[in-house]
Chain A
C-alpha cells in the first residue's frame, strides 16, 4: 500500500508540471496585462497614467520578458512557497489563496458528509421498499436534485431566502456578528451560513449516490448469501444493514470519488452566487483584473486539490473493499 501511494504521488508530479504550463499559458491569453487593465480603469474614471509609467511598472514586474522566462521565474518560486505577487492586493499570492482553499475544503467536506448521511439511508430504504410510494417519491426528489446543479440551486436559494423566507441568504456571517468576538452565538450564525452552500453543492451528488446505492442494494439483496442469512434466521434488520448494505457501499464510494471534482468545480460559482469565500469570488476578480499570478495559482491549487481527492478516493475504496489489491 505504501509503495502504491508513493508511486501515485510521484506520478502526480509530471502531470502537475504540465498543468502548471497549461495554466500559465491560459492566464497569459488575455490581451494586455494587469497594468493596461488598471490604466483603462483609471482612464475611465478620469485619471490616467502615461504609457511610459505603465511600461516602467511592467518592466519592474518582469512583464516585458518572454513567456518562457516568466514561466520559469514563476515556477522556480514554488519549492519555497512563493507563488508570485498579487498586483491587485499588493501581497504574496499564497496567503490569499490559502484562506479560500481552506474554506472550499471545509464546505466540500461538509457536503460529502451530508451526501453520505442522506444518500445511504435513502438508498437502503428505496431498495428494501422497492416500487413503494416512498421509493417513487424519493426517486423523484432525487431526480430533481440531479437535474438542477449548484448554480441554479444557489440562485433559487437566494431567491427563496430573500423573497419568501425574508432571511439574509448568502455571506459567511450576519451583519451584527461581523466584528463580534467568537461566541457560541456567532459560531451558530457561522454554521447557519455554512450549511446552505454545502447542501446546495451536495444535492446533485446525493441524488446520484442515492440512485447507485439503491441499485447496488437491490443487487446484493438478491445474492445467495443474503438468502442464507435469512434462512439461518437472522433478523431482517441485520440482514439488510450488516450483510447487504456493507457490500453495496463499494460502488457508492467509487461514484462519490467521481462526484468530488464536480463539487470542487461547482463550489466556485456557488460561492460567487451566495457570496461566500470559496475560491470563486476571488478567482473571478483576479481573472477580471488580470491579476495573473493570483488567478494562475488558484487554477493550480484547484487542480492539485482535484488530484489529491482522486487519490484519497482510491485509498478509501481500498480501505472499504479489502478484495481490491493495489500493486
Chain B
C-alpha cells in the first residue's frame, strides 16, 4: 500500500506543481481580459513584488540607489579602459620623448575659430637663465588632434592587434596629464598601469573568496573540532597587523624573479590575509541558517553535506559574499599600490599604479612637477567607486528591510 500511496502523492504533488507553474500565465490572461482599475493595478504590482525572487528584489533595490549605480558604472568604465588601454592611450608604456621631459599637462582646445576642431599648441623645451627646464608654448603652431588615427602597434588582451588609437597628433606630443622624468606620457602609463592594478585586485579577491568561502562555510556548518581549528588559524593570521605582514612576506620575493611570477606571488600574499575576513563573515551567516527549515528539509530528504553546502548554504549567502568581495576590492588594490610604492611588491618593468607612484617618491619632484602625482587620482577614483558600489550592494543584499 505504501508504494501506491507514494505514487499517488508524487502524482498529486506534480499536478500541484504544474498548476503553480501555470499561475503567472493564468493571472496575466485574466488580467488582460478585463479593463484594469487602479486598485487592480495595485494588486498586480503587489503580486509582482510578492512573487519576485530574491535576486529580482535585490536588483530592484539596487537600481533605485543612484549613488551605487553611479559607482558601478564608474567601476565598469575603469575595467573597460583597462581592457582597451592600448586603444585609448595615445602612446605605449615605454614611448619616450627625450625632448619633452617633465612636460606639464597640455591644454587641449576644443574650438578652433568657432568650429569643433580639437587642437593643441606646439611646445618647445628650452632652458632659462638659471638652466632650469621651461616649456615655451608656440601660439602660432596648432597641431590638430586626430581621432582614430594610426599610431604605434598594440594588442588588446593578446587577441586583437591594431595600430588605431583613439586620438593622436601628427607631430609633437599630446599629453593631457603631462610626462614623467623620462618623457613618458603619464596618461598612457596610468591606463596601462590600471591593467595590473585592477586585475591584481580582482584575482586577489577571487582567491580569497575561494579559500574564505570554503573554509568559512565548512567552519560554520560542521562546527566542533574543524571549526575550532579554522578559527584558531584565522586568529593566528589576524594576530599580525596586516600591512607589516604583507611587507615582510613580499620582502621575501626575490627581485630576480620573472615579472609574471612576482605578480602572482604578490596576489597570493594579499589573499593570504584577505580570506580571513570572508571566512569569519560567512561562518556567522552559515551558523544563522544552518538550522533553517530548508536546510533541515534537504537533510531529511537525504541531501549529502556537499549538496547542502553547494546547493543551499552558498547560494543563500551569495548576497553577502558579493558584498564582502566588492568591499574587499579597494583594500586589495590599495595594498598592492602600497607595497609597490614601498618597493616591496611589483617592480618595473611591470607597471602598476603603485610602481608609478614609487617613481615620484622624491618629495622635490612632487613640488616641482605635481602632475606626476596623477596616478593617485586614478586610485582615489576607483576606490571611491568600489565603495559606493559595495555600499549599495550591502543595502540591496537585504531586500526585506526598507
Residues of A within 8 A of B (CB): 15, 18-19, 22, 26-27, 29-31, 143-144, 146-149, 151-152, 155-156, 158-159, 162-163, 170, 261, 264-266, 268-269, 272, 279, 283-284, 287-288, 295, 298-299, 302-303, 306-307
Cross-chain contact B334 with A279 (CB below 8 angstroms)? no
Of the listed stretches B143-151, B157-165, B176-184, B233-241, chain A binds B233-241
Q: Which residue of chain A lies nearest to B377 when distances are taken between CB atoms in the complex?
A: A156
Interface of B is mostly: helix
Bound complex: CA A146 to CA B384 (Å): 9
Task: Given A261-B238, A302-B240, output 10 extra A-B contacts at Cβ < 8 Å.
Answer: A26-B249, A147-B384, A158-B363, A261-B241, A265-B244, A284-B342, A303-B239, A303-B240, A306-B240, A307-B239
Bound complex: CA A30 to CA B248 (Å): 9
Contacts of B254 in A (CB 8 A): 30-31
Cross-chain contact B376 with A156 (CB below 8 angstroms)? yes
How many residues from B make CB contacts under 8 Å with A?
38
Given A26-B249, A152-B383: A287 and B344 within 8 A (CB)?
A: yes
Contacts of B357 in A (CB 8 A): 155
CB distance from A162 to the nearest CB of B (A): 5
Contacts of B338 in A (CB 8 A): 151, 269
Cross-chain contact A146 with B387 (CB below 8 angstroms)? yes
Cross-chain contact B239 with A306 (CB below 8 angstroms)? yes
Q: Which 4 A-B pairs have the closest CB atoms?
A: A29-B252, A265-B241, A287-B251, A147-B387
Contacts of A15 in B (CB 8 A): 235-236, 239
Q: Which residue of chain B lies nearest to A149 when distances are taken between CB atoms in the complex?
A: B334
Cross-chain contact B242 with A148 (CB below 8 angstroms)? no
CB distance from B244 to the nearest CB of A (A): 5
CB distance from B40 to the nearest CB of A (A): 34
Contacts of B380 in A (CB 8 A): 148, 152, 156
Given A148-B380, A298-B244: A30 and B342 within 8 A (CB)?
A: no
Of the listed stretches B97-105, B315-323, B366-374, chain A binds B366-374
Q: Does B289 contact A (CB under 8 A)?
A: no
Q: Does B379 contact A (CB under 8 A)?
A: yes
Contacts of B363 in A (CB 8 A): 158, 162, 170
Q: Does B206 contact A (CB under 8 A)?
A: no
Bound complex: CA A25 to CA B376 (Å): 35
Q: Does B268 contact A (CB under 8 A)?
A: no
Q: Offer 23 A-B interface pairs, CB within 8 angstroms, sorted by A.
A: A22-B236, A26-B249, A30-B252, A143-B387, A147-B330, A147-B383, A148-B383, A151-B341, A152-B379, A156-B380, A158-B363, A163-B366, A265-B243, A266-B243, A268-B241, A279-B244, A284-B247, A295-B248, A299-B245, A302-B240, A302-B241, A302-B244, A306-B239
Contacts of A295 in B (CB 8 A): 248, 251
Bound complex: CA A144 to CA B338 (Å): 19
CB distance from A27 to the nearest CB of B (A): 7
CB distance from A130 to the nearest CB of B (A): 15
Cross-chain contact B236 with A18 (CB below 8 angstroms)? yes
Cross-chain contact A303 with B241 (CB below 8 angstroms)? yes
Cross-chain contact B252 with A306 (CB below 8 angstroms)? no
Q: Does B54 contact A (CB under 8 A)?
A: no
Cross-chain contact A159 with B243 (CB below 8 angstroms)? no
Q: Does B337 contact A (CB under 8 A)?
A: yes
Contacts of A264 in B (CB 8 A): 241
Contacts of A162 in B (CB 8 A): 363, 366-367
Contacts of A22 in B (CB 8 A): 236, 240
Given A30-B252, A152-B379, A284-B342: A268 and B367 within 8 A (CB)?
A: no
